[in-house]
Every structure is written in structure tokens, then in C-alpha cells.
A and B are shown apart, each in its own frame.
Chain A
């Protein structure tokens, strides 16, 4: 199975900051990577698909990049609504796997 490793596990930042979350796959997954945002008690929300494509309705301050085994999610200017937990997920093959999550906290 493909393992997904996210870093950092926790990130403290302030409104207006630029932040980057990294996700590494244990083997190449081409660009078949998604990023999700999850708030407490809610279902995950798709932000980015195929590594760099912004889902409809997602603010343009979110962006994704990478291919192969290294991927990043960047939020260009943090807004109050962005504080949540973020997960990467590969869908290159079954079984799909998620990263362990990155909790973005207010500094």
C-alpha cells in the first residue's frame, strides 16, 4: 500500500500569513492527489484535486503543486475561516490512503 506522510502535524499561524503543508507519498502517484479541509464535527471538504486543480467554489488563496512523490498545499493569506485540519489523499490505486492530517491553529 502507498503511505502518505504529511508535515507538519500542527501548524500555528496568524491571519494574513502564508502557510505551506507538505505531503509525501511512499511511491510515485503521478498527480493523483487531493487535499481536503475538515472542521470539527463536519465532513471533509474537497479543496484541490489532481494535485493542482482548484475545486469549484474554493477561494483562490488555496493552491496545490507537485507530482510524483512530493506535494504541497499553500494558503497565500490566511483568513479566520481557514483554521481547520487538512488532509492529503492519494487515489492512484486502491487502497486509497490519507495523510495523518495537519491541524492549522491560530497563533
Chain B
């Protein structure tokens, strides 16, 4: 059974840093592109960042580029999102999501078939 479980959320002051993790199980993690998607309270979905199965290709939304870094450790079946210079508008539930079909390297465009339960990040003083 495919499972994705996020962790690392919490309350952080503006300007601070936080690292989110997404532990994956039930599939060959390195074969799949992964993404982070966030949802501010009462708002819609916003794609944040994605990367290829190998981790060699990374992509970011304009709103987070230069502040957030996506990475993965395929030996640990874990996806990460390092978030620096956090702002109040970064407050949201952060979901990790899997691209539906395998894509080990390069740039692959995929819909998301599995999502984690989300982890809440609150940026406030």
C-alpha cells in the first residue's frame, strides 16, 4: 500500500527556517517524481515545488524560488522541503504528492495520484 507521511510542521517566527519531511512507503520511491503542494487556511491548492525521481531536476513556484529547497534521499525513501526566510503568507498545510507514473530522471510532467495527510506550518510572531 502506498503511503506518504509528512512531518516537521509547526509554529515558526517570520524570517525563520523549517524543514519538512515526507516518508514514503509501498512503492519504489526513486522511480517517481514528487512534489510539495500547499493550502493556506480556507484557500485553494498551490503547487510549491517538484523534483525528478533521481533528484537531479528541481522546479519551484515563483513565490518560493530562492527561499525553499526541495530534495530527496532515495536511500531513506524520504522527500524534504527546506524552507528559509519564512513569511506569514507561507502559512499553510503542506502536502507531499506523488507523480502518478514512474519517472526516474529528467523532466517529467505528472498528475498526482497519492497525497500525504499534510503538515501545518504557521508563520507568526
Binding site for B on A (CB under 8 A): 1, 32, 34, 36, 38, 43-46, 49-50, 55, 87, 89, 91-101
How many B residues touch A, CB cutoff 8 Å? Answer: 23
Q: In the complex, A87→B43 CA distance in Å?
A: 12
B35 contact from A44, A96, A97, Cβ within 8 A: A96
Of the listed stretches B9-17, B55-63, B74-82, chain A binds B55-63
| Residue of chain B at shortest CB distance from A1 | B62
Judge whether B117 and A89 touch: CB under 8 Å: no
Q: In the complex, A55→B109 CA distance in Å?
A: 17
Q: What are the residues of chain B within 8 A of A38 when measuring CB–CB?
A: 45
A43 in contact with B116 given A32-B109, A96-B50, A101-B45 (CB within 8 Å): yes
A98 in contact with B46 given A43-B116, A43-B118 (CB within 8 Å): yes
